[in-house]
């Protein structure tokens, strides 16, 4: 496991940490579980709540699904990795619970944070999905999303509820 100055057991290299902090403000505090640091970043730049992170195209694939975080918001990131306190903070700061990730040139994307929360590998934190639903996540919103990693060309047009049936939490 790679470590950095975040402390023992952090899965991030120093180089990756530097890149994330410079080019993707807000992402690294979420991944490190540092809600106070995330709050400070948002205090300094409240518009980050609504920013789309195209740079996260290679992040988020888990649980057998090929769904990534390309064009996603910080709320998508928190939902993907099961960070309940970060999810709550982002919602309290005005994050759109039904924000859609960007759609790429092939028409794939448009998923909301609940897609990530309901299909994360091994159900990292089912309370995140419950919080999103409590705060108004619409389970009927449809998006064009990639399917299972064993069928790399598969593209599905599903709601979060339908998608979750393909990738059960446990």
Span 20-55, pLDDT tens digits? 555 678 999 998 999 999 999 999 999 999 999 888
**What pLDDT was estimated at residue 59?**
75
What is the value of pTM for the model shown? 0.81
List the alpha helices (DSSP H) in the chain: 14-23, 27-32, 35-44, 74-81, 84-92, 113-119, 126-134, 160-166
Q: Crossing angle for the helix pair 84-92 and 74-81, nearest 10 degrees?
A: 160
What stretches in the chain show pLDDT beneath 70? 1-23, 60-66, 121-124, 148-150, 167-170
| C-alpha dist (Å) from residue 46 to 13, 25, 112, 115, 133 | 27, 11, 20, 24, 24
- 151 vs 40: CA distance, rounded Å: 41
**What pLDDT was estimated at residue 141?**
95
The separation between CA 63 and the C-alpha centre of its own chain, rounded to angstroms, equals 14
**What pLDDT was estimated at residue 104?**
87
| C-alpha dist (Å) from residue 13 to 32, 99, 157 | 12, 30, 36
**What pLDDT was estimated at residue 169?**
59
**What pLDDT was estimated at residue 9?**
41
Among 167, 161, 32, smallest CA distance to 86 is for: 32
Instruction: Answer whether 125's CB lies under 8 Å from 84's CB.
Output: yes
């Amino acid at each position: 496991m790679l470590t950095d100055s975040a402390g023992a057991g952090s899965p991030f290299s120093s180089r990756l940490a530097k890149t994330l902090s410079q080019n993707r403000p807000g992402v690294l505090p979420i991944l490190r579980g540092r809600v106070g640091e995330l709050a400070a970043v948002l205090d300094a730049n409240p518009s980050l709540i609504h920013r789309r992170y195209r740079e996260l195209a290679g992040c988020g694939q888990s649980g057998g699904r090929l769904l990534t975080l390309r064009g996603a918001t910080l709320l998508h990131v928190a939902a993907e990795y099961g960070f309940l306190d970060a999810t709550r903070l982002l919602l309290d700061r005005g994050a759109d619970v039904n924000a859609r990730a960007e759609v790429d040139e092939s028409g794939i994307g448009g998923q909301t944070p609940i897609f990530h929360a309901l299909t994360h590998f091994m159900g990292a934190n089912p309370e995140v999905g419950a919080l999103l639903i409590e705060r108004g996540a619409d389970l009927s919103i449809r998006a064009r999303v990639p399917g299972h990693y064993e069928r790399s060309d598969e593209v599905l047009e599903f709601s979060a509820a339908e998608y979750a049936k393909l990738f059960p939490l446990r």
